[in-house]
Amino acid sequence: MYEVELKVRADHGPVRERLADLDARHAGAVVQTDTYYDAPHREFAETDEALRIRRETPVEGDGQAYLTYKGPLVEEESKTREEAETPVGDERAAADLLDGLGFEPAATVHKERDRYTIGEQTVTLDAVEGLGEFVEVERAVDSAEAIEPAREEASRLLVRLGLDPADGIRTSYLGLLLATENVDFSE
């Protein structure tokens, strides 16, 4: 599976108004805490990969943890990459498993996410601790041939939301936080 994603820095107020005008369906709000890991056998920063445990807690309800691997970016125009993710029943056991294999926690990213759907696309309004507000438009596709049409569709949606796809950011939130030295290494 490929995650085709366009991300821009944007004030959420005007975007929420546009989402209402487009009859977007609210898909829920969550708080996420992502703990990223370094690998003992290669440098993820050099290979442009990521391994994380994500704790996702809905504004109302119980949380769920996920183990996620993100491969290197596959194109220049977006944050598209192969992704594998699975729910984890016991977050502590997953962390212990990674620790036992030599993976070490590298950094933690905290964010609040508010999700909307329009057709097959998800629009996410992110408030990232230490960075500010962002908007992501994304869609999962099954084949490499579907990446370009999905990216073009995401670009058109950004324009409909009053945003400029040329302002796209390909760097992950972790990368942006590391660049500002505003990342939490305590967890």
Q: Which residue, chain included where needed, has tokens 């005007």?
A: 14
> Choosing from 2, 36, 37, 116, which is the catalytic residue?
36
- Identity of the amino acid at 79: K
Give yes or no: 36 in active site: yes
CB 141 within 8 A of CB 147: yes
User: DSSP class of residue 80?
Assistant: -
- Among the listed residues 10, 12, 7, 35, the one whose alpha carbon sits nearest the alpha carbon of residue 183: 35
Contacts of 71 (CB under 8 A, 6+ apart): 49, 81, 82, 83
Neighbours of 95 (CB within 10 A): 19
Q: Which residues are part of the catalytic machinery? A: 36
